Copies of this chain bind each other. A is one copy, B any other.
Amino acid sequence: MAEKRPLILVTNDDGITAPGIRTLIEVMNELGDVFVVAPDSPQSGMGHAITVNDTLYVDRVTIDRSAPQTEFSCSGTPADCVKLAVNEILKRKPDLCVSGINHGSNSSINVIYSGTMSAAVEAGTQGIPSIGFSLLDYSLEADFKPVRKFVRQIASQCLENSMPHGVVLNVNFPKLPEEKIKGIKVCRQANAHWIENFDKRVNPLGREYYWLTGEFVNEDKGEDTDEWALKNGYVSVVPVQFDLTAHHAIKDINSWEL
């Protein structure tokens, strides 16, 4: 029966030693044969970056001697990790790719900045059913125990059902104890954005520099959004597509004098 176990690729953007990916690996070991290819250092905010003008290093590593998974750390971005895993490291196409569990939200517009989701999207473009998981807790000491059963359930369902073509899942977990999580809601991405507020400082040499900080603004009152679900104690699942065409706008733009 061993050959029937699904092959599961695990990656993330917080780096291979982050607590979030260690939890994800543990849960995936219950569901299949796990290969980890993840960044050797944190890659937060990398969006869908790929390494085109630099070299990529990959090392076989053992982080937990008692665990069954095979692990590689990579000098590249989350998207690089997936490309390397699928095209160079793995002998066959994985049955599932999971990314995360991210330390921090990737809901709403945050999906476009997310290295976690870029890994899932990259796998999706290669025809692999794929899920990005994120917990609304930026702390390195975040508690992932409350979300383990939901990770397992969503990943199992993804293995049992067929993922719609051109779609990957963006899953976010509220920061709540397990008994307070009300369930899972399939949602749309809330229409929200960031207003930046740059923190200007002066370095020891007298040169001005900035830190990027910002305020998340959600003007979307919809109760079918990921933001609503998370605020109301649900796990949000947004099906995300990588055909970015605004099909509804083609007619509009065609009315321009082009």
Contact = CB atoms under 8 A, between A and B. Distances in A.
A118 interface: yes
Given A109-B125, A164-B249, A87 B195 contact: yes
Interface in A203-227: 203, 207-212, 214
A249 B167 contact: yes
- Report the contact-size class of chain A (Cβ under 8 Å from the partner): 35 or more
A256 B47 contact: no
A256 B161 contact: yes
A252 to B, nearest CB: 5
Interface string A71-91: 000001001100110111000
Interface in A9-32: none
Nearest to A210: B56
Nearest to A226: B245
A240 B246 contact: yes
Contact of A240 (B55, B87, B203, B245): B245
Contacts of A250: 186-188, 239
B47 A79 contact: yes
Contact of A253 (B76, B186, B248): B186
A8 B52 CA distance: 30
Given A164-B248, A240-B244, 8 more contacts: A45-B51, A50-B212, A55-B210, A184-B258, A186-B250, A186-B254, A189-B244, A191-B243
